[in-house]
């Protein structure tokens, strides 16, 4: 992951990574955080963008420490969504210097070149029993596979999207990093069919 790419994106479009606002997708993510995290806990937001999710959790009584690879994202977050502790960190290559009781990382793993190291860094930063919640794009989603079949790839495969996962490969990566009690959840209109058919995968796991 090259920070210059994301610095440029946030400079040119400060809403990058949060154009949806606090919509149904973000509400689902908030609901999962409230389900698995306890008010007052020290929680890491890994890949915070401009801090929308971090701010909402902070306002609900969580001690949120928010990290992003982009210096520009951190600058915007500090100005627009005050409250959480913000810090620039290359979480692919740098280790966290503190321990957390929980962590979440939304729309991040697909951008990481060395995602096993990224997952290991998160695992090492958690206290025993701490939960991680993350999202990943699903390569098996029917909509994605149809687009690939017809060569329509620019919408989901771009310079910053370098990895896709299936429910099985995401579970395997998390297990290899040391996580346990791994639960893969589907999302969207076809969630009732199971995670295999969802465009976005949600993973909940425990150290």
Going from N- to C-terminal start, the domains of the chain cover: 3-206
- What pLDDT sits at residue 162? 81
- What pLDDT sits at residue 19? 46
For 3-206, the fitting CATH number among 3.40.190.150, 3.40.50.150, 3.30.1240.10, 3.40.50.300 is: 3.40.50.150
Which residues, in sequence order, are CB contacts of 195 under 8 Å at separation 6+? 138, 167, 184, 185, 186, 201, 202
Using alpha carbons only, give the angle 27, 28, 33 rounded to the nearest 5 degrees.
Answer: 95
**Distances in whole angstroms, Cα of residue 185 to Cα of each of 7, 123, 198:** 31, 20, 9
What pLDDT tens digit does each residue of the chain (207 aa) get?
555 544 454 445 555 455 444 567 788 899 999 999 999 999 999 999 889 999 999 999 999 999 999 998 999 999 999 999 999 999 888 999 999 999 999 999 998 989 999 999 999 999 999 999 999 988 877 676 566 665 666 555 555 678 889 999 999 999 999 999 999 998 877 777 778 778 889 999 999
Residue 26's nearest CA partner among 50, 2, 1, 7 is: 50
Strand duo 63-68 + 85-88: pairing: parallel
């Amino acid at each position: 992951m090259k920070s210059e790419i994301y610095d440029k994106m946030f400079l040119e479009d400060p809403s990058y990574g949060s154009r949806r606002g606090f919509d149904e997708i973000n509400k689902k993510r908030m609901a999962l955080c409230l389900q698995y995290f306890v008010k007052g806990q020290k929680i890491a937001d890994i890949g915070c963008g401009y801090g929308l999710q971090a701010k909402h959790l902070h306002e609900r009584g969580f001690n949120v420490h928010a990290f992003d690879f982009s210096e520009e994202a951190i600058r915007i977050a500090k100005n627009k969504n005050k409250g959480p502790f913000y810090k620039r960190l290359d979480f692919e290559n740098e280790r966290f210097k503190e321990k957390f009781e929980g962590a979440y990382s939304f729309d991040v793993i697909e951008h990481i070149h060395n995602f096993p190291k990224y997952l290991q860094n998160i695992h090492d930063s958690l206290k025993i029993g701490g939960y991680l919640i993350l999202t990943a794009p699903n390569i098996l989603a029917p909509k994605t596979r149809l687009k690939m079949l017809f060569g329509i790839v620019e919408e989901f495969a771009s310079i910053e999207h370098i990895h896709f996962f299936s429910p099985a490969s995401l579970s395997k990566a998390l297990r290899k990093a040391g996580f346990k009690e791994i639960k893969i959840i589907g999302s969207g209109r076809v969630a009732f069919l199971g995670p295999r058919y969802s465009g976005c995968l949600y993973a909940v796991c425990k150290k």
